[in-house]
Amino acid sequence: MANFADEHPVKAFGWAARDTSGHLSPFNFSRRYSFSFFTIQRQQQHVYIFNQHLLVLVERATGEKDVRIKVLYCGICHTDIQNATNGWGGSTYPVVPGHEVVGEVTEVGSKVEKVKAGDKVGVGYILGSCRSCDDCSSDLESYCPQQKLTCGSVYYDGTLTFGGYSDTLVADEHFVIRWPENLPLDAGAPLLCAGITTYSPLKHFGLDKPGMHIGVVGLGGLGHVAVKFAKAFGTKVTVISTSLAKKQEAIEHLGADSFLVSRNPEEMQAAAGTMDGILDTVSAAHPLLPLLMLLKSHGKLVLVGVPTKALELPVYPLVQGRRVIGGSGTGGMKETQEMIDFAAENNIVADVEVVPMEYVNTAYERLEKADVRYRFVLDIGNTLTKSA
């Protein structure tokens, strides 16, 4: 497969990791061409064989359905660290992380209808999908077997996708989110990952009904947003944490109704059988049995964190109470737009610390230590300079 990275007409600048150290530094690169399949004559200039078809590289920077974006803010997600360090395997270097991207449209293709130049938009975890499988047909592009991620995927022209730690981004309009006028760009950026990752399972598993009792395990980047969405749905929310130190924050700042210390057996026993559902945001290995015992019969424990070690599955409490353990990733484009609009209507944003681009490596170190309340956001528009 041909690699056209050196031929791309639009130059870009960002920060990239070059090896498994994950250390990021300034990086000059190019954004992709638009391309289409045609029946053509071979004397045309840019002709390549691609999957047994003739491929013409269209001589324009922005394709018919493409949206070119000036990046203003980009959230830092723990997944960015995994991509930069090859923590989950499969990283191809150089890696330009970033999938919580908010910016301003600078150019649109001739057939773009969703947005126009000057509009504020967002781009999340997904940059492409096959658009024809059962998942895509059900507005679940996030589960498409051929999905293309905003960072670290091989795009359809054979080039590597580079994320939002950069001055510009190109996306098909289908994967662009329209940004509400009243939603802050900086504090709203993490919703494109942390927001949809918690909103989607609450909706899908029916844990969004007023009066329900919902538990949220872990009070970090995902957990604090989960509390906000669950409260906006009208549910009673209990935060479950290993640290008593987070109780005041959970109740007084985030609005949780109650707090459980998971290491306190008396507290856990007193709350047994009281919850309709639990959203587990923890990515470290931890026991599931104490959480299952908090559920009512027919209750649901939904995992959105991704521990690197396998968790033990306690079968008896599942059978005894017809309880369910499920999992959920990020959401599709329709649901992501729904989530962003809901957040704007209900004044939901992430709690963020906005930092300059040159602070990114320190931010990674602090994030690994959980030393942030609760998400870092890079001020790309004001601080990304080629002299960095």
Which burial class, exposed, middle or buried, applies to 50 when counting CB atoms under 10 A from its CB (0-12, 13-18, 19+)? middle
User: pLDDT tens, position by position, for the chain (388 residues)?
Assistant: 334 344 456 789 999 999 999 999 999 998 865 443 333 333 333 444 444 444 444 434 568 999 999 999 999 999 999 999 999 899 999 999 999 999 999 999 999 999 999 999 999 999 999 999 999 999 999 999 999 999 999 988 788 999 999 999 999 999 999 999 999 999 999 999 999 999 999 999 999 999 999 999 999 999 999 999 999 999 999 999 999 999 999 999 999 999 999 999 999 999 999 999 999 999 999 999 999 999 999 999 999 998 888 999 999 999 999 999 999 999 999 999 999 999 999 999 999 999 999 999 999 999 999 999 999 999 999 999 986 5
Check residue 97 and give its pLDDT.
Answer: 98
Check residue 388 and give its pLDDT.
Answer: 52
Helices (H) and strands (E) in the chain, counts: 12, 20
Bridging pattern class, strands 101-108 and 66-76: antiparallel
DSSP annotation string for 335-378: HHHHHHHHHHHTT----EEEE-GGGHHHHHHHHHTT-SSSEEEE
Q: At what angle do helices 221-232 and 194-204 cross, to 10 degrees?
A: 50
Check residue 386 and give its pLDDT.
Answer: 80
The C-alpha atoms of residue 303 and residue 295 are separated, in whole angstroms, by: 14
In degrees rounded to 5, what are phi and psi of residue 49? -90, 125
The C-alpha atoms of residue 159 and residue 33 are separated, in whole angstroms, by: 10
The C-alpha atoms of residue 166 and residue 147 are separated, in whole angstroms, by: 22
Under DSSP, is residue 288 helix (H, G, I), strand (E, B) or coil?
coil
DSSP state of 253: I
In degrees rounded to 5, what are phi and psi of residue 15? -120, 140
Beta-bridge partner residues of 239 = 216, 259
Check residue 373 and give its pLDDT.
Answer: 94
The C-alpha atoms of residue 191 and residue 372 are separated, in whole angstroms, by: 16
The C-alpha atoms of residue 298 and residue 323 are separated, in whole angstroms, by: 5
Q: At what angle do helices 78-85 and 360-368 cross, to 10 degrees?
A: 110
Domains of the chain and any CATH numbers: 5-190+352-383 (3.90.180.10), 194-327 (3.40.50.720)
Check residue 33 and give its pLDDT.
Answer: 52
Check residue 39 and give its pLDDT.
Answer: 33
Please give the structure tokens belonging to residue 139.
């507005």
* Beta strand ranges found along the chain (DSSP E): 10-17, 24-31, 35-37, 47-50, 53-57, 66-76, 101-108, 120-123, 126-128, 148-149, 168-172, 177-178, 213-217, 236-241, 258-261, 275-280, 295-303, 324-327, 352-355, 375-379
